[in-house]
Amino acid sequence: MKKLFVAITFALGLHTSAMAGFTEGANAYNAKNYALALKEVTPLARKGHADAQHLLGLMYYMGRGVARDYKQALQWHRKAAMQGKSDAQYVVGAMYYTGNAVPQDHKTAISWFRKAAEQGHAEAQHALGLMYRYHAAGLPQDMVLAYMLWNLAAANGNANAVEQRAAIARRMTQEQIEEAQAMSRSWRPGTALPTQSKTGTNT
């Protein structure tokens, strides 16, 4: 798997004071003032704010402001993931996929990747596309699903998906490409992603 890249985003539903504290913490983190970030974010994370939990998990994962601790990183990311934070869901999926701080479990990894991908998370969509393309982690090889997922990821800004979509298209029939494009157009964030196609297994 590619090196994790986790975007820090702000949740609109936070209480005003909590939002202010998180914004200060996030700004401190971006300014590399990790001590201040830790001070601002930790109490919010303990109170259950998903964005703060995700950022605190990232700090433990990267060893910024705290000693690197993958178990703590997993703990905080899982808390945020359980609240529907797609960035955290992607990180939890990646940690299960690689067996980082947790026994390797591809089935669980796919479940978390899918949760994030179904919210429109580009990196999760890209990861699932790789699994369908290369028959990885127990998923069937399906060129159409891979193309569809990379199409979605590309639309969400994933540059690797653009390249891989172009490469796989050269191995697909026109019928397969048309099916993948139709599936991409009909899918909406927040809905289940398909788990099979009509023509994608004909490689």
Please state, in angstroms and rounded to a whole number, the distance separating the CA atoms of residues 77 and 69: 12
Confidence of residue 100 (pLDDT cuts 50, 70, 90): very high
Q: What is the mean pLDDT of residues 16-37?
A: 85
Helix orientation angle between 50-62 and 34-46, rounded to the nearest 10 degrees: 130
Q: Does the pLDDT of residue 63 top 90, yes or no?
A: yes
Give the model confidence (pLDDT) of 103-162 as tens digits. Answer: 999 999 999 999 999 999 999 999 999 999 999 999 999 999 999 999 999 999 999 999
Q: What is the mean pLDDT of residues 92-103?
A: 96
Domains and CATH numbers, the chain: 16-115 (1.25.40.10), 118-186 (no CATH)
User: Can you give the pLDDT at residue 202?
Assistant: 55
Confidence of residue 176 (pLDDT cuts 50, 70, 90): very high
Confidence of residue 18 (pLDDT cuts 50, 70, 90): low
Non-local CB neighbours of 17 within 8 Å, separated by 6+ positions: none
Report pTM.
Answer: 0.88
Non-local CB neighbours of 66 within 8 Å, separated by 6+ positions: 34, 38, 59, 60, 72
Q: What is the mean pLDDT of residues 155-170?
A: 96
User: Can you give the pLDDT at residue 21?
Assistant: 77
Contact 54, 24 (CB under 8 A): no
Q: Among 10-19, 100-109, 121-130, 182-191, which is the least confidently predicted range?
A: 10-19
Half-sphere exposure of 48 (CA within 13 A, CB side): 4
User: Can you give the pLDDT at residue 200?
Assistant: 85
Please state, in angstroms and rounded to a whole number, the distance separating the CA atoms of residues 119 and 117: 5
